[in-house]
Structures are given as structure tokens and as C-alpha cells.
Amino acid sequence: MFKERYAKISGWGKYVPEHVITNKDLEKMVDTSDEWITQRTGIKERRIRGENDTNSSMAVAASLPALEMAGLTAVDLDLIIVCTSSPDYLLPPVSSQVQDMLGANCGAFQLTAGCSGWVYGLATATSFIKSGMYNNILVVGSEIISFAIDYTDRQTCVLFGDAAAAVVLKPSEEPSGVLSFELGSDGSEYDALHVYDGGSTNPVSAITYEQGRHYIHMDGRRVFKFASRVVAQSLKRTIADAGLFPDDIDLYIPHQANARIVDAGARLMRQPLEKFYMNIHKYGNTSTASVPLAMVEALEEGRLKEGDKVAMIAFGAGLTWATVVVQLGVGEISPAHSLFSTGRAQYVAKRARETVLDGVQAALLPLYTFIERIRDN
């Protein structure tokens, strides 16, 4: 009989640079205040790469403890995926440097999907393992996003920080790892978060530096609106695809971009804010490292245990988004797998109730947005 394969998260690790930049430090650099940054974003400080930190060295520093915890060495790996928007060089892909530095003997590729990259990578690695193609896969999110930040632009410089985090996936026959995922993209909004020069359309020139076209330019309000909409919608779809309900999720791990986006997401999910993990105050937005770093810290703090179900969502440049529902360790089989046996009637009734509540919420959303705007002003 066919036995389903799962991709168990078997090891994890993180690396954060030592150098801290606080909101008070930024007050000396741009026209901003600790009060504004804290209230509008939830960020208090962020880490910035040290002299010896490179994207590849940070990726390796996060990967070594992940491999050790998984009981593997680099030669046991079948594939390495390094997710990033800030590789050491435009060419080669940083994944090959990481493969070499670890001493691995396997394929490696770089995956770029803005801040959503690592969640894309987790879904991709899971698919390789589920198909039976590979066994042991390392998925790293490593970001030195500070290299593309203009420290005279108060809109972006207060938001971002550098970090890396990694997981090792191994095959399992027990329900574990990614139970469902959604990968999304809306390229029509590509210019909401954009580096104009340095690609093949606009190669670097003297004008690039004069006009600061090598830095990240962001229409914060557009990204904010997109994120506030997509977070709850995508979480609901992906949780339903796993045969679960929002109440079944033990911990939500959202992209750490802005605490207000998380707040709106929790309300639209009708879930208490305490179920949404946040470490944004310590690190700001570390782009593709944000979700795995939050997951690793939630594990270190004991906020997650074997068998817990976790919903993670990231969004960012592209514009892209990616959502996964994950079961940590080995847990009870998810209701989706036993739909046609016990509990089907309760399942259908609960699903109908959720659908009605979502409909009412969608109808009331314009009023809710209007009240929020008045409250903000």
C-alpha cells in the first residue's frame, strides 16, 4: 500500500549580527523619533551586519546548529536552498558558496521571492521530499538587506535589519512538516517595492549613485494595504486546505514587517493577538529571514512543542506572498486526512459557520477600514 511521505522539520538554527541600531541611534541620522517608529511599526531596534558578516557566512552560521540538531552532517544533504534578496554577488548564486563552505556534496540553488522567499523554499523542499526525489534538505533564509537601504530615507531605514535562520527537513512516515501551502504573486504591483538599477534593464551607471537608484524604494502605504488584505485571506485558505480551522492553530508566525499589519491580521482571523508570535521589536523586518527567525525563537522560548500546528505567512517584494501550515514534530493526523470517517458532520457544520462569519466580515470591512482611518488621524 502507498505510504504518504512527510517532510519533518528536524533541526533549526539562527544567526543575528552583534551590532544593534536602536531607534535612538536613528533619531541622530534622520528626522524621526523613537515614539513614531514604536507606534507605527512596533520596532525598537534592529541588527546590522558586522565587518566580517557576509550573506554566505551568516547562512552557514545558521545552518550548522540546524544540521547538528537533525543528527546530520553536510555530506548527508541531498539539496540546499538558500533564500535571499541580498546574495554575496549578483553571480554566482550564494547557494554554491554555502554548499562549499559547509562541505556538502549536493545540488544547491538560490531562491528569490522578496520577503516570501523562505516560505517558498520550505514548500519547494517539502515537495521534493514528498515526491521521494530527495531525503535531507537544508532551507536557509539569509539576508543582509541593509546593503540596499538608504540611511537618509526615513521611510525605509527604520524598518529593516539583517539576520539568517535555517531548517533541515528529513522524511517521515508520520504526519509532520508542511500540511498545506499557498504561493502567491501579483507582479502588477512590482513598483511598490523596487530597486530601480543594478538589473539588466537598468545596469549600474554614474547616475545610479547620484540619484540613489541602487537603494530600495518603497511605497509603504501600498505595501501596507496589500499586506493587510492578503494576510488573513491567505491564512484562511491555507488553514482550510489542511482540513483545519483557525482555532486549531497553536501559534501564528507572521512576517515581521509591521506590528499593525499583524494586529489587523489577528482581528480578521478572529484570533487573540497573543496567538501571533512577534519579535519585531528586536530585529525589525529581516526580509526572508524574518519568518524562520521568528519560528526558531518561538521554539527556543518554548512557545511551540511537538505536535503543535503552526501557520506561517510572509509577504513582500514582487509583490509576493506565501503561507504554510506546519505540524511540528509528529502529531495527531490532521482532520483533512480523516474527513470521510468520524467527525464529518461536525466538520461540515463548523466550515459552514466559518463561511457565514467570513461573509459578514467581508460586508463590514469598508466600515471597519473607515473607522480605523479616523482612529489613525
List residues near ligand ACO by CB under 6 A. 32, 36-37, 40-41, 114-115, 154-155, 158, 193, 220-221, 223-224, 227, 257-258, 285, 287, 316-317
Q: Dihedral angle at the C-alpha atoms of 279, 285, 287, 288, nearest 10 degrees?
A: 0
How many angstroms separate the CA atoms of 225 and 312, rounded? 19
> Is the omega angle on the peptide bond into residue 335 within 30 degrees of 0, that is, cis?
no
Cβ nearer to ligand ACO, comparing 179 with 266: 266
What's the grid cell of residue 61? 552560521
Cβ nearer to ligand ACO, comparing 37 with 61: 37
How many angstroms separate the CA atoms of 32 and 22, rounded? 12
Of the candidates 144, 102, 138, 101, the residue with the CA atom closest to the CA atom of residue 121: 138
Q: How far is the CB of 153 from ligand ACO (least distance, A)?
A: 9
How many angstroms separate the CA atoms of 208 and 9, rounded? 43
N-terminal to C-terminal alpha carbon distance within the chain: 62
Q: How far is the CB of 110 from ligand ACO (least distance, A)?
A: 16
How many angstroms separate the CA atoms of 13 and 164, rounded? 9
| Contacting residues for 85 by C-beta, under 8 A, at least 6 apart | 112, 114, 115, 117, 143, 145, 148, 287, 288, 317
Q: Write down the catalytic residue from 23, 55, 136, 285.
A: 285
Cβ nearer to ligand ACO, comparing 193 with 253: 193
Residues in a beta bridge with 320: 185, 316
Q: Write down the catalytic residue from 23, 83, 157, 255.
A: 255
Q: Write down the catalytic residue from 115, 136, 157, 258.
A: 115
Q: How far is the CB of 6 from ligand ACO (least distance, A)?
A: 29
**Residue 285 appears among annotated catalytic residues:** yes
**Residue 106 appears among annotated catalytic residues:** no
Q: How far is the CB of 25 from ligand ACO (least distance, A)?
A: 13
Cβ nearer to ligand ACO, comparing 87 with 114: 114
Contact 309, 326 (CB under 8 A): yes
How many angstroms separate the CA atoms of 371 and 376, rounded? 9
Q: How far is the CB of 175 from ligand ACO (least distance, A)?
A: 32
Residue type, 345: A
Give the residue nearest to ligand ACO (CB): 316
Cβ nearer to ligand ACO, comparing 13 with 284: 284
What's the grid cell of residue 207? 547616475
Q: How far is the CB of 366 from ligand ACO (least distance, A)?
A: 19
Cβ nearer to ligand ACO, comparing 9 with 192: 192
Residue type, 224: F
**Residue 83 appears among annotated catalytic residues:** no
> Is the omega angle on the peptide bond into residue 179 within 30 degrees of 0, that is, cis?
no
Catalytic annotation, residues:
115, 255, 285
